[in-house]
Amino acid sequence: MTAFSLINIVLLAILVATAVTITRLRALYEAAMLAALFSLVTACLFVLLDALDVAFTEAAVGVGISTVLILGVLALTRSREAVTQRRRRLPGVAAVLLVGGTLGYASLDLPAFGAADSPVHSHPLTEVYLHQSQEAVGIPNTVTSVLASYRGLDTLGELVVVFTAGLAVVSLLGPLRRRRPTRPERPRPIADFDLADYRVIRVVSGGLLPFVLLFALYVLFHGEYGPGGGFQAGVIFASGFVLYGLVFGLDRAQRVVPHAALWSLVTLGLLVYIGLGMATMLLGGSFLDYDVLAPGNPATGQHLGILVVETAIGITVASVMTTIFFSFAGRGVSR
Amino acid sequence: MIASHYVYWTFFALMLIGLYVVISHGNLLKKLIGLTLFQVGVFLFYIGLGKRDGGSAPIISDGVEVYSHPLPQVLILTAIVVGVATLAVGLALAVRIFEAYGTVEEDEVVERDRADLATGHDGHQAAGRDSGGS
Amino acid sequence: MTGQLPVLQVAAPLLCAPLCVLLRSRTVAWLLFLVASLASLTCAALLAVRVDRSGTLRYAMGDWQAPYGIEFVVNGFNTPVLLLVSLSAVVVAVYSRRSVAGELAPRRVPLLYACLCLTLAGLLGLAITGDVFNAFVFLEISSLSTYTLIAMGRRRQALLAAFRYLVIGSVGAVFVLIGIGLAYAVTGTLNMGDLAQRVTGGHDNRSLQAAVVLVFVGLAVKMAVFPLHAWLPAAYAEAPSAVSTFIAATGTKVAIYVFCRFAFTVFGATLVFGAMPVGRIGLLLAALGILLGSAAACFQDDLRYLLAWSSVAQVGYIVAGVSLATTAGVSAAYLHMIMHSVTKAALFATAGLLLLRLGTVRLAALAGVGRRMPWTFAAFVVAGLGLVGVPPTAGFVSKWALVTALVEQGQWLVLAAMLSGSLLAVFYVGRVVEVAWFREPTADAEPAAAPASMVTAIWFLVLLSVSFGFDASLPAHLADAAASALLGNGGG
Amino acid sequence: MIFAVMVALLVTMVLALVRAFMGPGLYNRILAINTFGTKTVLFVAVAGFLFGRPEFLDIGILYALVNFVATVAVLRLTHLQDPWSGTEGGEAG
Amino acid sequence: MSVIEVLSGVLLAAGALALVSGGVGLLRFPDFYTRTHAASVTDPAGAGLILIGLLLRVDAWDTAVRLLIILLFLTLTSPTATHILAHAARRDGVPMWQEGDRRR
């Protein structure tokens, strides 16, 4: 047994055990925390399966953002699940059996795991993305070049999805409203336990924050050479703000980044991305054809295009995630 | 078969666990957690498709010959983002449902709607709750 | 610039969405949505003309040739969908100005228009893309914005409706994703044309068969095919009127188009309808859906729920046509798709107007409405006749085409289901008419005035439906072109 | 040697996981999960060396960061006493 | 085998030992506070030993810098997290184990 398969099996076992425990736990705080752990293990598995960019994103999203949001909602709502009624189990079991049967049937003809001659690896796409991209786009991280250039439209779509989510959350929960002076101060959800009172955590978080933001910038601009890119950077940026908001309170965080400014940033990123597509069209190429950005030197044009796109993604993702966090947290304060 | 496919089977098992939670659990938040598990199973499946034995991360570097496939990774990056977006919207809806009904158990919510119907109450949301907009 | 039309089709509404949010004015947001939908309609019309003259159009994103990049494909099979979606958007834009103002808090209005732009962009992108994963992305864009729009409904039931749709819809989307993954595993590609080439001959590949099953189950959720229709009634009935008009006209229709696209041009009819019993299952589910949807519609006492359940039945009609997998069947399905879309949009729009004027659309409260607001209700009656399929209306033309196609294949049981569905439609439409015209008005309060823009939009749809009933050559031409593009050369 | 470290890491992960499953209560689980998070940071670092590409340690930095954010979030957001049952968030869970 | 490699091996072994003993402590200690002790002692110690052990094997400077940053990060955040955790647990009245109590 190779080192790879040993580690793989242990991680898979951990994942399944965690998933089963999550389904059985009725205390939802605990379930949410185990979901964070699940995410961490998934991210480790992604590292093992050579998907570094995905591991980066999964860790940032699954642990950094999802967990905070779920916990925030749990703090607003009820934290314990009712007993699942017996009549509810049957449809679940039926669906699991049907889908499981289909998937099991499908697996009979799936190429062996890791095989070098599977259709995925023998399709000409592999050659183009891994080797020809080195001349056509010229950046070592092929994930970034496929993401931002070959499949740039998917990435635009992904950004639009993020934008839609921001829109949805703001339309449902609204931004943090200013406290009305006439209304007496309501008790905040963390009435007697303000983390800002803890000097240690305040100092550590305060000291950490500039590094977090610096790290985000590094991830943004290093995405062409190593794992990382606009989305990951945006999430890290946002988790920096989340940390700030959690430790120093929402009001201070809101003062640093007011809602109106955030919304402008949200739209700015998206407009830059679409605008870039329009610009390449006006310059005579097709939508998102970065070659035309630097006539005569396609690789430079690609570099430039990818950099603009990644920055646009970073801006929108960071501001949407921050907005979403503020919306959820603000709901708790104003209620 | 077992040695070459156990990875896929585990991923499928993870999907099924998530699917079961989504369908069978009545708590709206638990449903969303289940949805996340379901999606993660699919993400792993895709990444597994791109893995090559002895391969390395598809970041080109001298002295490395075998790389895993970058395309599934790109797809899953997109899918993860879609997943977290869905989760955020679902959570926001759950908060509003909690504020409107006082519970996040699906059965209780339905129960309350039925009671409304019996009393002829229309279910209009109170004006104060309607606090969206930017 | 004409070479760029396929991308402008999607980019125009996509660009307007952030602008709606940024500029924050209700009027500006509405104007942007109107401009976006007019631009899409122009693009769609120009594309339709060009495709009609010179055949398939392909557009490579970023100049990366397929299968290395993403391509947009415009062909006979999607021009009707593009036209339908963007035309509905224009009508809804006209309708929504006053309708939305009456239903939503002013601050949320720009957000609603932004979401409408996104839904429009998502549906158009879904219809135009030639890449399976890109289709998933557009599917999620349209779905996520639809969930948001539904949640904006004025009653609290809208929240649960949106949440349920979100969960069911996401599970469906994940099914599609798994199916795409399986197809990718056995072919190594995501481009629809490339995939189609690589699956030929692999009909007994079990992964591929499972991929077909999973993609279709996922799409069936979005199409609201029985028994996966559970999300539809509440979602349509609780959404703001403008939104339910828009999604009733477009949402399930685009999903049905995607189903056709996958079935005929990606997996191939020989695999889907030959090696696998998708056609027979489709016919069975369609028949059940028609009966159950129509029967459930008869028992509703809220007008919008009634219409929504009738939509479940109508999806059955279209699916029956597609499941025949014959040129006549698919053409009839496209025709019914167009006709029903116009008819149902008119009906939901009228229900929205009644809701605005009366404050409720429970049947009991509609007593005597026909006498108090004859023009509004006349529109409902004409459109309702179209729903039933009475001769001089659009519904008759398409139902007749469906019946012919079914008879051709000897599907008598489905035919029987379809006819009983129509009889039930007579009953449930008749019930509304009876209440509204033959009962004494109960409320004495004067109903609010009908805004001219809403009436215009409704009557435009009604007259369109009637004119299609008299002369169906344009939709019939589009539907025939679509069917031959799907079944003929593959095209993808 | 590095492989031995990896095995030790996996063993520790499993031990922490058992504690996270057993609880009892919220705090034991948070503690176990926090420990687990540190192990994943090390996992990324060690795996890089084990499979011969140690240059991508950025992920480790990120893990350390999100682990901290998550712990702060858990403590900040769970300390709220549950208005309905009154027992949540304490040892009773 | 050079001196550096031996040193690295020793550090790695010590780190691995620290980790496992911390894990066992986490599982076997009787109450929350003692477990905190097990975790808070071995976490940074094991991580530090392993990271320094790895550092000795690195030849590229940028990898070394990253290892150092991780080390710095962990030494800063890990004790902080344990500190607030214990603080919160005490405020919340998590009971303390006494001689003769059942394990909890």
* Residues A149-192 pLDDT 10s: 899 999 999 999 999 999 999 999 876 454 444 344 444 444 34
Residue E78 vs residues A238, D24, D60, D62, E65: alpha-carbon distances, Å: 21, 22, 14, 14, 20
Report CA torsion sign: C280, C284, C289, C291.
Answer: positive
Cα–Cα distance measured from residue D72 to residue E1, given in angstroms and rounded to the nearest whole number: 44
Q: Tell me which residue in E76, E77, E87 faces A198 most closely, judged by beta carbons.
A: E87
Q: Tell me which residue in C114, C121, C184 faces A167 most closely, judged by beta carbons.
A: C114
* Chain E residues touching residue D12 (CB < 8 angstroms): 19-20, 22-23
User: How confident is the model at residue C34, as a pLDDT?
Assistant: 94
Q: In this complex, does chain C touch chain B, defined as having at least 3 beta-carbon pairs under 8 Å apart?
A: yes
Residue A193 near chain E (CB below 8 Å): yes
User: How confident is the model at residue A180, as a pLDDT?
Assistant: 43
Q: Indicate if the pLDDT at residue B132 is higher than 60.
A: no
User: Which chains are adjacent to chain D, needing at least 3 Cβ pairs under 8 Å?
Assistant: A, B, E
Q: Pick the residue of C20, C68, C164, C174 with the most B CBs within 10 A to test the interface with B by mutation.
A: C174
Residue C151 vs residues A168, B114, C160, C279: alpha-carbon distances, Å: 9, 19, 8, 35
The whole-model pTM stands at 0.93
Query: Chain C: nearest CA to A94, how far in angstroms?
Result: 14
* Chain A residues touching residue C213 (CB < 8 angstroms): 102
pLDDT level of residue D78 (50, 70, 90 thresholds): low
User: Which chains are adjacent to chain E, needing at least 3 Cβ pairs under 8 Å?
Assistant: A, D
Instruction: Give me the mean pLDDT over the B82-88 stretch.
Output: 94
**Domain boundary residue among A65, A81, A97?**
A81
Task: Supply the Cα-derived Rg of chain B in whole angstroms.
Answer: 22
Query: Chain E: nearest CA to D85, how far in angstroms?
Result: 15
Residue E8 vs residues A186, C405, D10, D49, E87: alpha-carbon distances, Å: 57, 79, 20, 13, 36
Q: Indicate if the pLDDT at residue A332 is higher than 70.
A: no
Closest by Cα among A329, A12, A317 to A158: A317
Kindly report each contact of residues C310-314 with a partner whose C-beta sits within 8 Å and lies 24 or more positions away, as own/partner: C310/C344, C310/C387, C310/C425, C310/C428, C311/C224, C311/C232, C311/C236, C311/C248, C311/C252, C311/C344, C312/C224, C312/C226, C312/C229, C312/C232, C312/C233, C313/C289, C313/C421, C313/C424, C313/C425, C314/C340, C314/C344, C314/C387
Cβ distance B77 to A82 less than 8 Å, yes or no, reads no
Residue A208, in any domain of the structure: yes
User: In the predicted model, what is the mean pLDDT of chain A?
Assistant: 85
Which residues in chain A (191-210) have CB-CB distances under 8 A to chain C?
A: none
Which is more confident, C269 or A87?
A: C269
User: How confident is the model at residue A192, as a pLDDT?
Assistant: 40
Closest by Cα among A297, B67, A9, D46 to E47: D46
Number of other residues whose CB lies within 10 A of the CB of residue A191 = 11
Question: Nearest residue on chain A to C218, judged by CA atoms?
Answer: A99
Q: Pick the residue of D57, D58, D61 with the most E CBs within 10 A to test the interface with E by mutation.
A: D57
Residue A15 near chain D (CB below 8 Å): no
Q: Pick the residue of A98, A167, A173 with the most C CBs within 10 A to test the interface with C by mutation.
A: A167
pLDDT level of residue A334 (50, 70, 90 thresholds): very low
Domain of residue C477 covers 310-492
Q: Indicate if the pLDDT at residue B129 is higher than 60.
A: no
Which is more confident, C266 or C24?
A: C266
Residue A60, in any domain of the structure: yes
Q: Are residues A249 and A142 in the same domain?
A: yes
Q: Are residues A136 and A259 in the same domain?
A: yes
* Chain D residues touching residue B56 (CB < 8 angstroms): 51-53
Cβ distance A200 to E80 less than 8 Å, yes or no, reads yes
Q: Indicate if the pLDDT at residue B16 is higher than 90.
A: yes
**Kind and range of the H or E run holding B69:** none
Domain of residue B37 covers 2-121
Which residues in chain A (258-297) have CB-CB distances under 8 A to chain C?
A: 263-264, 266-267, 270-271, 274, 277-278, 280-281, 285-291
Residue B129, in any domain of the structure: no
| ipTM reported for the complex, 2 dp | 0.92
- Give the CA angle between residues A147, C20, A235 to the nearest 5°: 35
Residue C387, in any domain of the structure: yes
Residue C227, in any domain of the structure: no
Query: Chain C: nearest CA to B132, how far in angstroms?
Result: 6
* Chain B residues touching residue D51 (CB < 8 angstroms): 56
Which residues in chain C (1-20) have CB-CB distances under 8 A to chain A?
A: 4, 7, 11, 14-15, 17-19
Cβ distance D12 to E20 less than 8 Å, yes or no, reads yes
* Chain A residues touching residue B83 (CB < 8 angstroms): 61
Residue B48 near chain A (CB below 8 Å): yes
Question: Nearest residue on chain A to B60, judged by CA atoms?
Answer: A140
Residue with tokens 């995410």, as numbered in its chain? A39
Residue A326, in any domain of the structure: yes
Closest by Cα among A31, A306, A26, A18 to A150: A306
User: How confident is the model at residue C491, as a pLDDT?
Assistant: 41
Residue with tokens 């991923």, as numbered in its chain? B11
Residue B130, in any domain of the structure: no
Cβ distance A109 to C198 less than 8 Å, yes or no, reads no
pLDDT level of residue B130 (50, 70, 90 thresholds): very low
Q: Pick the residue of B4, B6, B9, B29 with the most A CBs within 10 A to test the interface with A by mutation.
A: B29
User: Which chains are adjacent to chain C, needing at least 3 Cβ pairs under 8 Å?
Assistant: A, B
Domain of residue A76 covers 1-81
Low-confidence winner among A18-22, B54-58, C26-30 (lowest mean pLDDT): B54-58
Number of domains observed in the structure of chain C: 1
Cβ distance D15 to E24 less than 8 Å, yes or no, reads yes
Number of domains observed in the structure of chain A: 2
Cβ distance D47 to A47 less than 8 Å, yes or no, reads yes
Q: Pick the residue of B89, B97, B104, B124 with the most C CBs within 10 A to test the interface with C by mutation.
A: B89
Query: Chain B: nearest CA to C156, how far in angstroms?
Result: 6
Residue with tokens 């008749």, as numbered in its chain? C430
Instruction: Give me the mean pLDDT over the B67-93 stretch.
Output: 94
How do residues C453-487 score in pLDDT, each as one tens digit? 888 999 999 999 989 888 888 889 999 899 988 88
User: How confident is the model at residue E3, as a pLDDT?
Assistant: 85
* Chain B residues touching residue A238 (CB < 8 angstroms): none
Low-confidence winner among A98-107, A283-292, C294-303, C313-322 (lowest mean pLDDT): A283-292
Cβ–Cβ under 8 Å, residues A53 and B73: yes
Cα–Cα distance measured from residue C270 to residue A64, given in angstroms and rounded to the nearest whole number: 47
Q: Pick the residue of B77, B86, B103, B130 with the most C CBs within 10 A to test the interface with C by mutation.
A: B86
Number of domains observed in the structure of chain B: 1
Which is more confident, C297 or D73?
A: C297
How do residues E89-102 score in pLDDT, each as one tens digit? 877 777 777 766 66
Low-confidence winner among A193-197, B101-105, C9-13, C155-159 (lowest mean pLDDT): A193-197
C276 phi/psi in degrees, rounded to 5: -120, 150
* Chain E residues touching residue D9 (CB < 8 angstroms): 16, 19
Query: Chain A: nearest CA to D66, how far in angstroms?
Result: 5
Q: Are strands C71-74 and C57-60 parallel, antiparallel or unpaired?
A: antiparallel
**Domain boundary residue among A81, A114, A140?**
A81
Q: Pick the residue of C57, C61, C115, C144 with the most A CBs within 10 A to test the interface with A by mutation.
A: C61
Cβ distance C148 to A285 less than 8 Å, yes or no, reads no
Closest by Cα among B20, B32, B22 to A95: B20
User: In the predicted model, what is the mean pLDDT of chain C?
Assistant: 90
pLDDT level of residue D17 (50, 70, 90 thresholds): very high
Give the count of Cβ contacts less than 8 A between chain B and C: 99
Cα–Cα distance measured from residue C18 to residue A263, given in angstroms and rounded to the nearest whole number: 10
Percent of chain D with pLDDT over 90: 19
Question: Nearest residue on chain E to D61, judged by CA atoms?
Answer: E70
Residue B125 near chain D (CB below 8 Å): no
Domains of chain E, residue spans: 3-91
Residue A212 near chain E (CB below 8 Å): no
How do residues A213-261 score in pLDDT, each as one tens digit? 999 999 898 888 888 888 999 999 998 888 888 888 777 777 888 888 8
* Chain E residues touching residue A201 (CB < 8 angstroms): 80, 83-84
C57 phi/psi in degrees, rounded to 5: -110, 140
Residue C329, in any domain of the structure: yes
Cα–Cα distance measured from residue C118 to residue B83, given in angstroms and rounded to the nearest whole number: 18
Cβ distance E80 to A193 less than 8 Å, yes or no, reads no
User: How confident is the model at residue C156, as a pLDDT?
Assistant: 87
Residue B134, in any domain of the structure: no
Residue A68, in any domain of the structure: yes
